[in-house]
Structure 1
């Protein structure tokens, strides 16, 4: 195999060189998560109830969970270039958001969100695996973290911007058009600054070790279970965070500031998790992060019952965002191959969907704050699975 100094880079230059992929992740994250803040306007425009409109989130997540591994398997068999996959995914996501802006019926909106989901499902595993191949092995987790930081940054910047910019952009349709533009601009930046230097191979011609690590075996299934449980714990609370924080402890502080505090922690956790996974085995990083997530969730439940000051609530939200987002870069590095990364992304979206559905059941039956200890139990269960899944070697069997 030819050793290419252009395709394997180290140090700060490699991290800066991956910033276009992080920009694309930010566009995908804004496209994925902003629908929550747009639901009231979308429901009103389409003349449906907020509950019916909320199913857009579930449909999106399920579509991602189903399409992600399917596309990855086809891409591996056909030997598709990951840079082209990244560019195509952004174009599809942009087209999906344009269709959302044009949608005039609930059916057309659901179809548009499914199209958007296809772009999101393709982008994340393709971009993370591309980043890993363009970095030195001892920096692969950090490279993945740089790409995923765009997703967490969308929680900090993209969602508050879309929520507060609806008046300026003439409602939800203007927001969808702006996200379309962001996706296409990101694709242009990646096309200009991320060279295509990899040599894709078909799955049938890869080395035996590569084919072996691409199989979803027993240990890999346990790792995917960790992803599912941890994501379920996060989005069970985050989906209904505005209801949970509608308590005296949050009075006097705008909700956008509290959500931004969580976003700051998410960005920090993504980057710290990647750096830690390059120093220690990813399993240990995930174990600490999931345990800390459970602890901070219990702390969150306590501070909103005291009630504590809004500043304390914001600090706890920052800590929670840091803990729960610190797992994703190590998990991707642990699984290590594009196909397994795609299954990991599918587990993330499945966790989002299941977390939202279970959270809705709990909210319908009892006080929203009950979600917090339930989510803490799910995060603790994820920690227990990590202990069982802990590998004897860096490569999943």
Structure 2
């Protein structure tokens, strides 16, 4: 039995100007990747009209992207740990740019589907590499804050990037959105090639010892449960606000904006709380509060609009500290394999959100929207218990990480 080598949690006591620049580049990179993911949904009517397919068939562009991301991220994460995270990131961004250019120029629907498959594979190389580079470059005591800033780039793409892309599509056509994303990806590929510190001599050459599959699965289960609980609720939130709270279209839009603001606040604040109180403690508390606030929102659906909006804000603020704090925890626990573990974590999140959305859809028709928060709360409780258990058993997990 070998004992895993644990790297220092951070290289320095305070961030340099170059370090802050790297963090900004990581933030912008995830903003572009997130925009590509979230902007497709509002463009589906235009895409279906352009190619003469049904909206459901056009939706396969999103489904294929997600499937190849889930399957590809673990492989790219392991590759990044072996050949270098910066190298995989740059190659991924070049591929992402090509895939988006092909998306914008595709003359046939089958070629559009191929382009979205390539985009999903490229995103699977980019996102985990950024998270691993950010976590590995963070100064002492700031890993949670840095991870939360990176996650905020992805979340802000939902509230600003996607709407901006939709507005651009209204003026220049939906194809222009992907051409712009392709250009931004090319620029970011060049910038990322120089933004991140070069590994110390010999550090990049060492191949980290493998982590047992059972340990990987236990380590990333929490994120999957979080994704299920949060996105089973969020996917159908607009529907519930219309049918159960009887809000107008304008108020539903306002509620979603309030939710998005809360998500960004929660993400940024969660990382700083993780640095102060411990990443595991913050992730566990966040999941427990998710369960509580889901039930609160469910009870307040018939209540006054201001009270309902306030509860949605509090829910998002409580929910979104979990992801960056848990990612920081994975980097601290498995520093040599952080690229691989964060890639598995990303796949777990995508899988959890997909399953949550699917189960929410199955519950919606027979039981109504208000059944969804109850089921999601139960899953959040399970996630909190699993997270707490993993905190207690972390030492034994690390001791067993490289067995088998």
Report TM bin, short chain: 0.7 to 0.9
Q: Secondary structure at the match of 2:170?
A: coil
Between the aligned partners of 1:106 and 1:360, the Cα distance in structure 2 is: 27
**Structure 2 residue aligned with 1:126:** 129
- Paired residues of 1:233 and 1:375 also in contact (CA < 8 A): yes
Cα distance, 1:386 vs. partner?
1.4
- Paired residues of 1:60 and 1:114 also in contact (CA < 8 A): yes
Cα distance, 1:297 vs. partner?
1.8
**Structure 1 residue aligned with 2:341:** 340
Structure 1 stretch displaced more, 387-396 or 96-105: 387-396
Equivalent residue for 1:10, pick from 2, 8, 14: 14
Unaligned runs of 5+ in 2: 1-9, 332-337, 399-404
- Tell me if 1:242 matches 2:238: yes
- Paired residues of 1:258 and 1:314 also in contact (CA < 8 A): yes
Unaligned runs of 5+ in 1: 1-5
Cα distance, 1:293 vs. partner?
1.3
1:354-373 correspondence runs (5 A): 354-373=355-374
Change (3 A) 1:343 1:164: same
C-alpha RMSD of matched pairs (Å):
2.8
Cα distance, 1:150 vs. partner?
0.5
**Structure 2 residue aligned with 1:329:** 324
- Paired residues of 2:224 and 2:351 also in contact (CA < 8 A): yes
- Tell me if 1:56 matches 2:57: no
Cα distance, 1:290 vs. partner?
0.8
Cα distance, 1:347 vs. partner?
0.6
1:158-237 correspondence runs (5 A): 158-170=161-173, 172-191=174-193, 194-199=195-200, 205-206=206-207, 211=209, 214-218=211-215, 220-237=216-233
Structure 1 stretch displaced more, 129-138 or 46-55: 46-55
Between the aligned partners of 2:351 and 2:127, the Cα distance in structure 1 is: 15
Equivalent residue for 1:297, pick from 290, 294, 297: 294
Cα distance, 1:366 vs. partner?
4.3
Between the aligned partners of 1:182 and 1:65, the Cα distance in structure 2 is: 24
Between the aligned partners of 1:276 and 1:395, the Cα distance in structure 2 is: 25
- Tell me if 1:141 matches 2:136: no
Change (3 A) 1:128 1:307: same
Change (3 A) 1:100 1:366: farther
Change (3 A) 1:298 1:166: farther
Cα distance, 1:392 vs. partner?
5.0
Cα distance, 1:69 vs. partner?
0.6
Change (3 A) 1:40 1:295: farther
TM-score, length basis structure 1: 0.86
Change (3 A) 1:298 1:48: farther
Between the aligned partners of 2:58 and 2:360, the Cα distance in structure 1 is: 16
Aligned residues: 382
Equivalent residue for 2:83, pick from 71, 80, 94: 80
Between the aligned partners of 1:188 and 1:288, the Cα distance in structure 2 is: 40
- Paired residues of 1:7 and 1:197 also in contact (CA < 8 A): no
- Tell me if 1:257 matches 2:254: yes
Between the aligned partners of 1:395 and 1:323, the Cα distance in structure 2 is: 29
Between the aligned partners of 1:348 and 1:112, the Cα distance in structure 2 is: 23
**Structure 2 residue aligned with 1:375:** 376
Kindly provide the CA deviation profile for residues 273-308 of structure 1, in whole angstroms up to 9, marking residues without a partner as x.
21122122322111111111122222222232x142
Between the aligned partners of 1:361 and 1:56, the Cα distance in structure 2 is: 22
Between the aligned partners of 1:104 and 1:245, the Cα distance in structure 2 is: 39
Change (3 A) 1:37 1:315: farther
- Paired residues of 2:242 and 2:249 also in contact (CA < 8 A): no
**Structure 2 residue aligned with 1:115:** 118
Change (3 A) 1:12 1:258: farther
Structure 1 stretch displaced more, 38-47 or 272-281: 38-47
TM-score, length basis structure 2: 0.85
Between the aligned partners of 1:342 and 1:211, the Cα distance in structure 2 is: 16
**Structure 2 residue aligned with 1:3:** none
Cα distance, 1:15 vs. partner?
4.0
**Structure 1 residue aligned with 2:92:** 89
Kindly provide the CA deviation profile for residues 205-262 of structure 1, in whole angstroms up to 9, marking residues without a partner as x.
35xxx536x44444x4333111111101222222233322224443273544322222
Between the aligned partners of 1:315 and 1:395, the Cα distance in structure 2 is: 42
Cα distance, 1:199 vs. partner?
4.0
Structure 1 stretch displaced more, 119-128 or 56-65: 56-65
Between the aligned partners of 2:91 and 2:384, the Cα distance in structure 1 is: 36
